Chain A
Amino acid sequence: MDDIRALADDIFRDRIRRARSMSPGKKVLLGPELFDYACGITLSGIRAQNPDYTEEECRRELSRRLRIARRLDEAGLYHPVEAVE
C-alpha cells in the first residue's frame, strides 16, 4: 500500500512540475483538445465493437455515451426550473 501511495505521489508531483512550466492559456486550451482526442478514441472503439455501424450510427452512439456520462456527473445536482428569461 505504501508503494502505491509513493507511486501516486510521484505521478502527482511530476504533473504539477510539468504544469508549472506551461503557460496557463495553453493548459486551458488542452482541456477541450483532450476532450476531442478522447472522443476520437471512443469513436474508434465504437467502430471496432460495431463494424456494421455507419459513421452516423457511430456518432449517435458516442452522443448516447456522453449523455450518460453527463447524467452520472450531474446526478442529483440540478433540477429543472422555470426559464429565467
Chain B
Amino acid sequence: MPTVSRFGSPSAIPRRTGIGLRTQHFRSVLGSLPDVGWLEVHSENFFGAGGQPLYYLERIRNHYPISLHGVGLSLGAVGGPDAEHLRRLKVLADRIEPGLISEHLAWSAVGGRHLNELLPLPGTEEALAVVCRAVAKTQEFLGRQILVENISSYLGYDHTTIPEPEFIREVVARTGCGLLLDINNVFVSAHNLGFDPRTYLAAIPHAAVQEIHLAGHSRMGNLLVDTHGTRVADAVWNLYAGAFAHLPPTPTLIEWDNDIPPLAVLVEEAERADSILERCLDQSA
C-alpha cells in the first residue's frame, strides 16, 4: 500500500492546530493575526473570478498556510466529478498554492441534480470503483495529491459489504490519496450506525492520515447530527487524544459553520487541541 503520495508530500501545513476560516472572521483574523498554525477555507466560497472573498484570502495567505477543503466535488457520483467544478478548483489552487486540498468521501449529485450535501455511499465494489476513478481523475487534473475525508452518517445501506475503514484503505491503496480523519464524524457515525469508534480508528490506514478535523455535534432525538455549531464534545476530545495511540502528531483543524462564535472561541478550541498535540510531540520526541 503506498503511504507516500506519488505527487510529493505537502509541507506547508504545520503539525499544529488551525481553524476553519469563514467570512465573518476575515477582518478579525487580519486585524489580530491570532496564534493558530494554519487556516482552512471551503474551496467553493472562492470560486468567483474576483471580488472581496479572493481579496481577503490572498491577504490572509500572506500570514498563514492555507488548506482548501471542498464540499461540492461529489467524488461518489456515478458520472464522475464535474469538469467545470474541477477547473475552478484548479484555478483557485494555482492562485492560492494551498498546503493541502481535501474533499469528502461522499456523493452529492446525480443526473445533473446537485443536492449540495455530503451523502453516504454504500460500501460496495461499485461505489469503491466510482470513488477511486474520481479521486484519480481529480489528482491527475490538479497534478497533486488530495485528501479524502470520512463523513458523518445518519443512515447506512443494507447492501453494504465493505466496512468504511476497509473502503478507505482501498481508496488510499488504489489512488495514493491521503486521508483527512474527522474524529467527530467517526463519533457521530459510530453512534448512529452502531459501531465502535475505537475499532474504526484502529482499522484505518494510519500512515495516510495527514489532517484531522474536530467539530461540535448535536443530538436530535436518538441521533447525533454533525451540526458544526457547538464546541467539540468531551467524548470527541477523548477519542481525539486516544487516536494518537495509532497516529503521529497530525495537523488538526477546528471547524465551526453554524452559529459562528467570536474568533476567540475558535482560538480557545485550537489551543486545547494544540495542548494535546504538544503532549504527543513530547512523547514522540
**A and B: bona fide binding partners:** no
